[in-house]
């Protein structure tokens, strides 16, 4: 009985103790919560190991008087960021980054304490000495986006290796990490790890969801850095460009640690192991002096007394106190003592603090972080963001530029000197290495860009809290390309021989995603349709829009610049132009064309361009002539309609080409069509009769311009039987059954919003005449409506009527003006919105949003249309810019937006004119221009 009573009392004591602990923890959490903040961070540029992004994390006040907030380095980031802190009472303050450690995962933001009106946070104490195995802890932070979360755990290990986040990403090294069994997520990065007294004993830095483990950074280096910040002193950081590992005595013994030395070390070493050299970077201060497997025993500087090196912090203290000075290390190497003298480098010197942006690419000096991953000297120019220029050249993110324009570049200054010498459009060679093949040098050709994007050099300024930028040199005046001659390949096939001097390959690179175009780089076959004027016909899967850079390749031997002359607003082809003078005496010929009516079973010859830009010839049979019917794409973009195309049986793969008769006369183009099926993007090849091109050429030769009148309706083809069921009279049905005519009736299936046809026609109307002429095919309708007004004879619900419709004049330039504003790419609504979604062309359409921008932060998404700003109506770009220029940077504005189904929403957005100035790109009648507004 007494034993049972004792057990009951014991359980009661344990329960009471736990209850008391819970009460104390609750009080502790309440005391610290006002000092913990949610941090919203926009990485405005890709830089070093991090891509541009919009994220959130946690931080906590460590100096309330100075407004210092401690968080992770991967939150403060090495590159430019814009950040805000949200306190527990939802007061919001701006943050400026004041320090990020070059190696370890901690950094500091600063806010203005005077900006807080309703909360008085206190400084949380940093107590690295209180970290003990078995200590109960709480991780208090912004876990998974929550304002405040509390995760319990127990410190299980104080000497685990730093977590490995993968090659090419930020990784901490040369430090211990703590480990506990508590699962944390991304938003809790930078959370304080507190004990029951409310003291911070570690900094949360990461986790392993699979193992439900959390990784915490020790605070010794943090405390040292904080003291320097409080004293307005520089934070010295030394380096040997060497990675060390902590190995236990059994491994050290296998590496040659002598038994007598081990016995002595165990008396003075409070741990169970020693620091071992893993590797030193080539070109670094320790390269060739320290060897993998060396065991670090002691270290000293000058005439100091040698001290045991037992932990990472003791070695780092020696390095940090002797930057640019000489130190000595006593090592154990293969069972023998070795003393080495080493020059300590400055860790800040090999941490990039500036970048150059040109052609939308971002480049900077190779960092120590990435040099470790590449195992190469800390020199070269690193591509943080390929942008337009480098992605066009095939240079990926993470590449290291070694040479440009045949000039070595080992740093950003040398790179800038080369850029200053390059004119717009100049083609230069680039040598580089990649993460995938670090030992192989790649060579490519880059087209210099000074037209589409600004060129800046930006340098970090921790006093201002941002990266001020200055414009780079304007560069030399563009030089005219000298004429060159082309020799054409001789072909045995007469059709290939006849067309070899008329077929080219066209490359098209797009700087901005407008009109729903998703890709950036295109290529396909082109056909010279007027050699005298340098006109080349391509499909719209090669040149989808007018805005971009054109290169035309003749016979795989000569590469010339071109420009987009015309993009057909309704059908799948465009016309680009080159300067015939640049081809010297080359015998470029206008392709022979013959308009003929193709039918199923006809023999044709496919002459296509292969991957090596030689010609392929194959005799084929026409399978059928059918109308194209594509589903509405998820993102409104060009979609072919109202067109009959030629289908071939088992056509071989080509990059496009033509269909000819047996003599080599072109009777149709062989064009690639791009279309969407659900979330998938597809492309396929069909033939388009050449008569459509001949009609355009007649316009050009007459008036050097193109005019396309459109009824602004999409038509569907119905069988005679279907038309009969829609109450079409027998009289009309008989007219559509002529033996020579195509036995179909056209019906209105979709109207373009905002057009006259939208107001006067209805879906299901049967179209029988245009301007008094019977229409059986799409071509009949298009040919007979090329004027300002068209009288349409329709049958609606069995009744015949005439309707006068005003056509739309389409110029073939498409979108010729865009605005880059706060990270959103704006344009006037393009035709596809009205044609596919029934949206009237009102407001300003968002075609793209850059990561890390205010638009991204405040969820101003692509596919929205802005219709109001701060209550003022916005009908077009001009009205939008007029209102936007009245707004100051760092101020909130209110936007009313509509989505693709006209659903309204209101978004508040805080402007940033420092990193996201307003910029305009426009066609001035002669070429594309860009400028800041």
Catalytic sites, residue numbers: 74, 105, 188
Alpha-carbon span 657 to 144, nearest angstrom:
53
Alpha-carbon span 646 to 602, nearest angstrom:
11
Q: Within its chain, how far is the Cα of 388 from the centroid?
A: 10
Quick one: which of 644, 664, 666, 686 has its CA closest to 539?
A: 686
Quick one: which of 539, 714, 541, 696 has its CA closest to 642?
A: 714
Beta strands in 92-208 (DSSP E): 92-100, 107-110, 136-141, 149-160, 177-180, 192-194, 200-208
Q: Which two tokens stand for residue 349?
A: 């010197």
Alpha-carbon span 267 to 61, nearest angstrom:
40
Query: Which string of DSSP letters, residue by residue, matches 703-770?
Result: HSS--EEE--EEEEEE-HHHHHHTT--HHHHHHTT-TTS---EEEEEEE-TTSHHHHH--TTPEEEEE
Alpha-carbon span 193 to 716, nearest angstrom:
67
Which residues on adjacent β-strands are paired with residue 773?
A: 770
Q: Which two tokens stand for residue 909?
A: 């957005």
Quick one: which of 222, 240, 229, 245 has its CA closest to 323?
A: 240
Beta strands in 344-477 (DSSP E): 345-346, 354-358, 361-365, 381-385, 400-404, 407-408, 427-433, 442-447, 456-459, 469-471
- Give the dihedral sign, CA 508/509/511/513: positive
| Interior/surface letters 343-362, b for 16+ CB within 10 angstroms, e for the rest | ebbebbebbbbebbbbbbbb
Length of the chain: 933
559-560-561-565 Cα dihedral, nearest 10 degrees: -120
CA dist 748 → 248, 714, 734, 764 (Å): 80, 6, 21, 5
Tell me the three-class secondary structure of 199-226, residue by residue.
Answer: CEEEEEEEEECCCCEEEEECCHHHHHHH
Q: Which two tokens stand for residue 175?
A: 């430090």
Which residue is listed with tokens 């072109």? Answer: 666
Query: Which string of DSSP letters, residue by residue, matches 318-341?
Result: HHHTTTTSEEEEEEEETTEEEEEE
Alpha-carbon span 724 to 739, nearest angstrom:
18
CA dist 283 → 240, 255, 352, 377 (Å): 10, 25, 17, 5
Between strands 200-208 and 192-194, the pairing is antiparallel
CA dist 224 → 36, 200, 229 (Å): 21, 15, 9
């Amino acid at each position: 009985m007494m034993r049972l009573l004792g057990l009951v009392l014991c359980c009661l004591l344990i329960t009471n103790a736990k209850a008391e602990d819970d009460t104390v923890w609750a009080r502790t959490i309440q005391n610290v919560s006002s000092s913990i903040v949610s941090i919203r961070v926009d990485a405005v540029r890709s830089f070093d190991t991090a891509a541009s992004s919009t994220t959130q994390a946690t931080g906590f006040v460590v100096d309330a008087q100075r407004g210092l907030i401690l968080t992770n380095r991967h939150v403060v980031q090495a590159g430019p960021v814009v950040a805000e802190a949200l306190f527990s009472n939802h007061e919001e303050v701006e943050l400026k980054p004041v320090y990020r450690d070059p190696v370890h995962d901690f950094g500091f933001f600063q806010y203005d304490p005077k900006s807080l009106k309703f909360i008085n946070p206190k400084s949380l104490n940093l107590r690295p000495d209180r970290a003990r195995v078995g200590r109960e802890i709480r991780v208090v932070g912004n876990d998974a986006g929550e304002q405040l979360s509390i995760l319990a755990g127990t410190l299980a290990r104080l000497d685990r290796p730093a977590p490995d986040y993968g090659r090419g990403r930020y990784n901490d090294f040369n430090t211990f990490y703590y480990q506990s069994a508590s699962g944390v997520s991304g938003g809790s990065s930078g959370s304080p790890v507190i004990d029951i007294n409310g003291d911070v004993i570690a900094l949360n830095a990461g986790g392993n969801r699979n193992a439900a483990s959390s990784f915490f950074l020790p605070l010794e280096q943090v405390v040292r850095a904080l003291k320097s910040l409080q004293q307005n002193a520089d934070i010295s950081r030394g380096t040997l460009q060497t990675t060390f590992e902590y190995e236990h005595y059994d491994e050290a013994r296998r590496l040659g640690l002598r038994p007598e030395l081990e016995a002595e070390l165990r008396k003075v070493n409070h741990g169970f192991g020693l620091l071992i050299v893993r590797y030193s970077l080539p070109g670094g201060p320790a390269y060739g002096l320290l060897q993998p497997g060396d065991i670090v025993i002691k270290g000293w500087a000058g005439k100091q007394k040698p001290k045991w090196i037992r932990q990472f912090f003791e070695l780092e203290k020696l390095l940090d106190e002797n930057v640019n000075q000489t130190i000595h290390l006593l090592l154990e190497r293969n069972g023998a003592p070795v003393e080495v003298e080493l020059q300590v480098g400055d860790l800040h010197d090999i941490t990039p603090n500036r970048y150059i942006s040109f052609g939308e690419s971002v480049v900077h000096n190779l960092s120590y972080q990435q040099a470790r991953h590449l195992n190469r000297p800390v020199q070269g120019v690193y591509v943080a963001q390929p942008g337009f220029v480098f992605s066009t050249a095939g240079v990926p993110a993470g590449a290291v530029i070694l040479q440009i324009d045949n000039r070595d570049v080992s740093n950003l200054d040398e790179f800038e000197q080369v850029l200053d010498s390059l004119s717009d459009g100049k083609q230069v060679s680039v040598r580089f290495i990649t993460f995938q093949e670090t030992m192989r040098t790649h060579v490519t050709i880059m087209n210099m860009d000074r037209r589409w994007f600004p060129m800046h050099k930006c340098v970090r300024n921790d006093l201002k809290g941002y990266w001020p930028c200055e414009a780079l040199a304007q560069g030399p005046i563009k030089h005219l390309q000298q004429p060159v001659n082309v020799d054409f390949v001789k072909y045995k096939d007469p059709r290939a021989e006849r067309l070899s001097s008329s077929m080219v390959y066209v490359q098209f690179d797009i700087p901005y995603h407008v009109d729903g175009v998703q890709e950036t780089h295109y290529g396909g076959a082109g056909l010279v349709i007027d050699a005298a004027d340098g006109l080349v016909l391509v499909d719209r899967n090669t040149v989808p829009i007018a805005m971009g850079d054109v290169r035309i390749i003749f016979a795989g031997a000569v590469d010339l610049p071109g420009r987009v002359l015309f993009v057909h607003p309704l059908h799948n082809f465009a016309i680009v132009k080159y300067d015939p003078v640049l081809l010297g005496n080359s015998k470029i010929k206008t392709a022979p064309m013959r308009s003929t009516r193709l039918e199923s079973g006809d023999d044709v010859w496919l002459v296509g361009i292969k991957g090596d830009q030689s010609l392929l010839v194959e005799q084929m049979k026409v399978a059928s002539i059918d109308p194209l019917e594509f589903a509405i794409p998820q993102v409104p973009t060009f979609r072919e309609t109202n067109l009959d195309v030629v289908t071939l049986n088992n056509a071989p793969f080509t990059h496009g080409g033509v269909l000819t008769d047996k003599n080599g006369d072109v009777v149709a183009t062989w064009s690639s069509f791009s279309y969407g099926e659900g979330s998938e993007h597809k492309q396929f090849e069909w033939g388009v009769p050449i008569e459509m091109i001949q009609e355009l050429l007649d316009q050009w030769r007459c008036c050097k311009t193109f005019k396309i009148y459109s009824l602004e309706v999409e038509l569907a083809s119905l069988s005679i039987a279907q038309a009969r069921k829609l109450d079409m009279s027998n009289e009309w049905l008989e007219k559509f059954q002529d033996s020579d005519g195509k036995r179909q009736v056209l019906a209105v299936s979709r109207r373009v919003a905002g057009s006259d046809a939208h107001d006067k026609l209805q879906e299901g109307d049967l179209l029988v005449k245009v301007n008094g002429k019977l229409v059986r095919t799409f071509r009949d309708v298009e040919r007979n409506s090329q004027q300002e007004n068209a009288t349409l004879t329709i049958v609606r619900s069995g009744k015949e009527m005439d309707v006068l419709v005003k056509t739309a004049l389409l110029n073939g330039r498409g979108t010729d003006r865009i605005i880059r504003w706060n990270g959103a790419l704006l344009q006037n609504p393009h035709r596809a919105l009205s044609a596919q979604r029934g949206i009237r062309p009102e407001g300003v359409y968002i075609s793209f949003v850059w990561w890390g921008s205010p638009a991204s932060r405040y969820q101003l998404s692509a596919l929205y249309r802005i219709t109001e700003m701060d209550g003022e109506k916005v009908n077009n770009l001009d009205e939008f810019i007029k209102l936007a220029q009245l707004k100051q940077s760092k101020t909130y504005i209110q936007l009313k937006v509509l989505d693709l189904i006209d659903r309204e929403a209101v978004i508040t957005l805080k402007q940033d004119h420092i990193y996201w100035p307003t910029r305009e790109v426009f066609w001035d009648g002669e070429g594309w221009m860009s400028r800041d507004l």
